[in-house]
Amino acid sequence: MKAGSLAQLGEKGLLRHLTSRWPTRGGILSTGVGDDCAVLRVAGRDLLFKTDIVVENAHFDHRTPPRLIGRKALARALSDIAAMGGTPLAAVVTLGIPVGESPRRLAAIYRGLESVARQHGVALVGGETTRAAQLFLNIALLGECRDSAPVLRSGARAGDLIYVTGRLGGTQARHHLIFTLRLAEGRWLARNRCATAMMDLSDGLGADLPRLAEASSLGFALDPEAIPRRRGATLTAAINDGEDYELLFTVPPARAAWLKKKWPFATPLHCMGIMRKGPSTALAHGFDHFKQRRGRPGVRGTVGA
């Protein structure tokens, strides 16, 4: 391998580098690393498989109410199931515990986890604890797609319209801990064949939309004015804050009127642009854990739909 620092590689570059030689297995349909969940074909079912972690001082800190730490840990993984149009089944939890950590805090974290699990029908089936230098909570989640194929990031076609649920930005204060899951919306979109490609917005529209476009081998044109913002959020915030956990998806133009008419949820729905061949419009780059912000930008081009 080439020598290089983590900052140079970036999170995406590191993952691509590390996983480039990963073995696959006969009889298992894998989407490969990079979609919201892995897809496994087992006994004629499409199972979804996901691992996700929250780490103290990266995803929460000592001021975060413990129940919300547990809530966030599971909800993040559930959001990835939503983004495939899936239904969650079961989770196993790995808990890293620093010396001197309070059992009372840990219990409250687990109460938060249980509450989200109950709400969304997730069986908590296994736990593992280990001593660690900092508190962390890893969730491995199993789900499935029933009555629909999993919606991948790679299914968008040129001409498809770009939609988002909810409103973006202004997520730092508390939203990232208490965001509403879009599981029902994701399932509805998948079952009604409204979404050709879908993902959840975890790193921000500015980082995530280019990923969906790249997975679909397309560019996009986005109307910045059409990006729905949370109350008080600037356009920059709506593009860059991240942790929106809204669904970003593409809709065939022939389905757009039907979608608008039949959408059964109170959740807002906004069309922001269109997928196209060729270069994309510019968006400031979203949050990437390892990428130096002043490094080469991830997206180039000119703003405007």
Reported residue count of the chain is 305
Which pairing describes strands 269-276 and 161-165: parallel, antiparallel, or unpaired? antiparallel
Is 149 a binding residue for a copy of itself by CB under 8 A? The answer is: no
Among 65, 89, 192, 224, binds a copy of itself (CB under 8 A): 89
Cβ 122 to a copy of itself shortest distance, Å: 7
Cβ 154 to a copy of itself shortest distance, Å: 15
Distances (CA, A) of 57 to 12, 63, 212: 21, 10, 29
Is 274 a binding residue for a copy of itself by CB under 8 A? The answer is: no
Site for a copy of itself in 47-86 (CB under 8 A): 47, 49-53, 55, 58
- 135: left (phi > 0), else alpha (psi -120 to 50), else beta? beta
Cβ 14 to a copy of itself shortest distance, Å: 6
Q: Give which of 49, 136, 57, 46 is closest to 90, Cα–Cα.
A: 49
Q: Give which of 250, 269, 247, 268 is closest to 86, Cα–Cα.
A: 247
Is 223 a binding residue for a copy of itself by CB under 8 A? The answer is: no
Among 6, 178, 226, 303, binds a copy of itself (CB under 8 A): 6
Among 15, 271, 282, 284, binds a copy of itself (CB under 8 A): 15
Is 136 a binding residue for a copy of itself by CB under 8 A? The answer is: yes
Site for a copy of itself in 27-46 (CB under 8 A): 28, 30-33, 37-38, 40, 42-45
User: What is the Cα–Cα distance from 158 to 279, expressed in whole angstroms?
Assistant: 12
Among 72, 85, 104, 215, binds a copy of itself (CB under 8 A): 104
Q: How far is CA 53 from the centre of its chain?
A: 13
Is 300 a binding residue for a copy of itself by CB under 8 A? The answer is: no
Q: Give which of 178, 105, 91 is closest to 135, Cα–Cα.
A: 105
